[in-house]
Amino acid sequence: MPPTPSVVAIVPCHNEEAAIGKVVADLHQHLPAAEVYVYDNCSTDRTAEVARAAGAHVRLEREKGKGNVVRRAFADLDADVYLLIDGDDTYDVADAPAMIATLLSGPYDHVLGVRRQVSTTAYRAGHESGNRAFNGMVSFAFRREVTDMLSGYRVFSRRFVKSFPALSREFEIETELTIHAVNARVPQVEVPVGFRDRAAGTESKLRTYHDGFRILRILSQLLFLERPLLVNGLFAVVLVVAALVLGLPVVWEFARTGLVPRLPTALLSAALMILAGVFLVLGVLLNGLVMSRRETSRLFYLRLAAPPFVPSSPISPSASSSPDTSAAHRAAPGNGSTVPPMHDSGARLRRETAEEAGS
């Protein structure tokens, strides 16, 4: 019998006194062998006391922000499997065993819980459309399909956690986790999970516009850092188009009359064309550095042990769910649509690797 993989559950919290006790109790019920760590992030209520009374290990993180909590937890804790879940009781803990079984039966390095809302009010106004917009941007820019990049319900392997740089400070940490997974091309899979309203009397810590702009900013930064040829190439194309719009009439006039009546325009057009060339060369050079950095990061990633393989029959993510939420996994409310099958980027990665080796 292979050894039982060790599991830790990481629960970031800020003023979740009303919900954290139930989250910890549910984790102990559905994952009795897991160690539950609640990271109290500058709470002003009894979050730490309630979590400790429910049986969790409580640690304090005084640098405010979910990203700071995740960075600290990933550095502090050592296990085979890491579960990350919010402490507001909006995610269905009953899905956790299936997510962990999915990771180990792959084995995968990242299992993303794709939210399927139990009620039509689980998402705040604008959040669902904003999430879809960010998903589309990441899928286009990094050429990997992403369904719910802002989900806070995930399972990781040890080598994913220990190779993750964790640069973000606040709610943009989910964006960084997603881009790290798709850009490093780690074996990963998406599974549907239940998502419900927050507990009565509590409010979301996510500020729609403030955090939306922060997510957009970190997404732009990561895009420039990871895809410099694409970004600089787009700038170069814009400059070339502007140079042609300004310069072609001047060239036409010169070809027709032999005169350059608009010398400043001609100089501006030439300068824009030169600047476009500079951007393109810069993109090529930076892309070479990125490829070298990726190779170094990949070698470090491969030095870490893969998650223990635990073969099992396919597990439906709703199989362990309670009766009141399992229906939400089968169909989204109000439209009768079925939940899509698991999205396995690991299988696609293996096919791509085989094709590259054969070519």
Distances from the Cα of 346 to the Cα of 53, 74, 183, angstroms: 40, 23, 13
What pLDDT is stored for residue 136 in this prediction?
84
As a whole-number percent, the residues of the chain with pLDDT over 70 amount to 79
Q: Name the helix (H) or strand (E) containing 57.
A: strand 57-60
* 213 vs 64: which has the higher pLDDT: 64
pTM for the full model? 0.75
CATH code linked to domain 7-226+309-350: 3.90.550.10
Phi, psi (deg, nearest 5) at residue 38: -100, 120
Which amino acid makes up residue 84? L
Mapping DSSP onto H, E and C, the string for 316-358 reads: CCCCCCCHHHHHHHHECCCCCCECCCCEEHHHHHHHHHHHHHH
Q: What confidence tens digit (pLDDT) does each residue in 58-92 have?
A: 999 999 999 999 999 999 999 999 999 999 999 99
Window from 27-31, 120-124, 230-234, 302-306 with minimum mean pLDDT: 120-124
User: How far is residue 123 from each of residues 75, 117, 118, 167, measured CA to CA in Å?
Assistant: 31, 8, 10, 27
Taking residues 42-63, what's their average pLDDT? 95
With cut-offs at 50, 70 and 90, classify the pLDDT of residue 205.
Answer: low
Digit-coded pLDDT (tens) for 270-283: 999 999 999 999 99
Residue 44 dihedral angles phi and psi, to the nearest 5°: -110, 5
Nearest alpha-carbon partner for 204 in 150, 163, 255, 164: 150
Lowest mean pLDDT among 246-250, 303-307, 355-359: 355-359
Q: How far is CA 177 from CA 110, 146, 215, 248, 292, in A?
A: 10, 12, 12, 46, 21
Residue 289: helix, strand or coil by DSSP?
helix
Hey, what amino acid is at 256?
R
Query: Could you tell me the end-to-end alpha-carbon distance of the chain, in angstroms, rounded to an integer?
Result: 40
Domain boundaries, the chain: 7-226+309-350, 228-294
> pLDDT digit string (tens) for 129-148?
777 888 888 888 888 888 89
Give the confidence band of 329 by pLDDT, cuts at 50, 70, 90: very low
Helix axes 208-226, 173-184, angle to 10 degrees: 30
The closest of 210, 143, 223 to 175, measured between CA atoms, is 223
